[in-house]
A and B are shown apart, each in its own frame.
Chain A
Amino acid sequence: GAVVSQHPSWVICKSGTSVKIECRSLDFQATTMFWYRQFPKQSLMLMATSNEGSKATYEQGVEKDKFLINHASLTLSTLTVTSAHPEDSSFYICSGRREGWGDEQFFGPGTRLTVL
């Protein structure tokens, strides 16, 4: 299979601070990475799509200046939540797509963000 890791697995921060979450594809090159947000007892909602070396594409309603996404290499994408507020507390999950492997996305273990 293909393995995706995320770091940190959980983070607690104060309101107004910024938090960076890393998503790494460990054994494949992810030409495309996706970032999802999942609130308790809800579904996964796509936030943005990132392709290596280009700007991320954000879904409607997602503030690109608040959720900064960088896909600097084929194995690393980062999500920075800027000026975090309690309503940003959620479970953030990334996934990677491997070129030539069709439509399957490989999911990371998620990052639990709590903003106090």
Chain B
Amino acid sequence: GENVEQHPSTLSVQEGDSAVIKCTYSDSASNYFPWYKQELGKRPQLIIDIRSNVGEKKDQRIAVTLNKTAKHFSLHITETQPEDSAVYFCAATLSGTYKYIFGTGTRLKVLA
């Protein structure tokens, strides 16, 4: 079946540094790619998303890039802060449906 790979599984950065999380999807017809931040015991919170007809999107310290040819998309967080520490999930829609396939998650730790 279709899947989404996510790397790295854990990431530690110093406060103020940048963090990059990468995902690769298998369904070439996927057209929507959201990124979620999840704190322990809480719901996933949408932080940014991108559609397949766009290559890059930015919202303040957060940006997402999409390479459709390579079927890669990445989350970039600049000027990281301790409150950015959480688990981040990428997802991709399954073509022809509104279903999400989630990546395996990245635990980000921002060290003060």
> Contacts of A43 on B, CB cut-off 8 Å?
89, 102-105
Segment 92-116 of A: residues with Cβ below 8 Å from B: 93, 97, 102-105, 107-110, 112
> Contacts of B98 on A, CB cut-off 8 Å?
32, 49, 97, 103, 105
> Contacts of B41 on A, CB cut-off 8 Å?
91, 110, 112
Question: Which range contains the number of A residues in contact with the other chain?
Answer: 20 to 34
> Contacts of B61 on A, CB cut-off 8 Å?
none
Once the chains are docked, how many angstroms separate the CA of A60 from the CA of B1? 10
Say whether chain B's binding surface is mostly helix, strand, loop, or mixed: loop
CB distance from A52 to the nearest CB of B (A): 14
- Whether a CB of chain B sits under 8 angstroms from the CB of A44 is yes
Return the contact of B42 from the options A45, A49, A110 (Cβ within 8 A). A110
Interface residues of B (CB under 8 A from A): 1, 31-32, 34, 41-46, 49, 89, 93, 97-105
Interface residues of A (CB under 8 A from B): 32, 34, 42-46, 49, 60, 91, 93, 97, 102-105, 107-110, 112
**5 pairs of A and B residues whose beta carbons are closest in the complex:** A103-B32, A107-B43, A43-B102, A44-B102, A109-B43
